[in-house]
Amino acid sequence: MTTPDRTVAWAVLDSPIEQLLLTTDGVGLSRVWFAPFDHVELRPEARDDHHPVLAVARRQLDEYFAGERRTFDVPLSPGGTPFQNQVWDALRAIPYGETASYVEVARAIGRPTASRAVGAANGRNPIAVIVPCHRVIGSNGLLVGYAGGAARKRRLLDLETGALQLG
């Protein structure tokens, strides 16, 4: 997988959990990926740690990891289908430190039988952490279906509930 051609600028954030790659299409934040980034082709000349969208995203993520931010208002530009965007919007409505099941998200978007499709959209979320797909769990309470892996999901949830203290 490579970054879409619409990537205008990118930057790396050294978070307390691990490095994150942030990209923008010039309008909004288009990607937040966990390291390693060896699957991503980036133009070196497009690195821009001071791009306005990336600067806002970096500041807000730093505040999140410091326990000072619970919601994000950086402009987003994730792409995706209308259904995926509906799911991603529903994920952003899950409160900090709380979780919801795939079934609950499906109900929230008015598609109560679409929990598998919600899971697929969740797995394709291009903006990790800010669009909090880590807050979606199985109906049985298990940490399932996180593209970033169960260990990352647990660390993010522990950070939000205060079970993990960083820095």
Residues annotated as catalytic are 133
Residue 157's nearest CA partner among 143, 167, 147, 145 is 143
Distance CA 159, CA 129 (A): 11
Helix, coil or strand: residue 43: coil
Q: How many CB atoms lie within 10 A of CB 136?
A: 26
The Cα diameter of the chain in Å comes to 47
